[in-house]
Amino acid sequence: DTGVSQNPRHKITKRGQNVTFRCDPISEHNRLYWYRQTLGQGPEFLTYFQNEAQLEKSRLLSDRFSAERPKGSFSTLEIQRTEQGDSAMYLCASSFFQDQGGFFGPGTRLTVL
Amino acid sequence: QKEVEQNSGPLSVPEGAIASLNCTYSDRGSQSFFWYRQYSGKSPELIMSIYSNGDKEDGRFTAQLNNASQYVSLLIRDSQPSDSATYLCAVNSGNQFYFGTGTSLTVIP
């Protein structure tokens, strides 16, 4: 399978716990994006990496959210002290060119109880 | 004002008809525009991209861009029931992609 993969696919956690998601992009893609999507809404941009550098982060993103892409390959998104409002689908997308549009992974569905 | 606006629908068309989906954007500096299809419970799938004013055709799909009016549209010819999905418009602005809320399309057999 040469597409974008995300793990886990589902995560249920209690409020206040920390969670971490992983994204493995398409191997030759140097650009990686994280999005959050809630029901009835389009994906909301969270952050962008070019290789290992985090070049863009949404102004709306809480300090509880952090992302890394240590070797320019896979990426992790961590949410600290989760809140019920963090419940959403977290999507990762990758591309080779900036104007290529992103190819999305299957997403990680987070439920915060 | 939202970066990207779409009519949420729902839009219903009979099988074989042309479905027309519309999108407006606010950033005049945007240069790349995309249409994604999203089936219920699935992630978005890129179906069309357009970078210059005018029309771009790919099979049954035609994307239209009007920079002056800040307007992007997607036409689906010979609509099939399998086209029933939510269609998301996305605009590249700097390092970010802004998505609309999507238009729900139902193709009636």
- For B76-98, the pLDDT digits (tens) are 999 999 999 999 999 988 888 89
- For B7-29, the pLDDT digits (tens) are 878 999 999 999 999 999 998 88
Q: Are A102 and B97 an interchain contact pair (Cβ–Cβ within 8 Å)?
A: yes
Report pLDDT for A7: 97
Q: For residue A58, what is the nearest residue in chain B, using CA coordinates?
A: B96
Q: Are B44 and A91 an interchain contact pair (Cβ–Cβ within 8 Å)?
A: yes
Residues 6+ apart with CB under 8 A from B82: B107
- For B67-77, the pLDDT digits (tens) are 999 999 999 99
Contact between B55 and B75 (Cβ < 8 Å): no
Q: Are B49 and A102 an interchain contact pair (Cβ–Cβ within 8 Å)?
A: no
Chain B CB within 8 Å of residue A48 CB: yes
Chain B residues lying within 8 Å of A105, measured CB to CB: 43
Report pLDDT for A2: 75
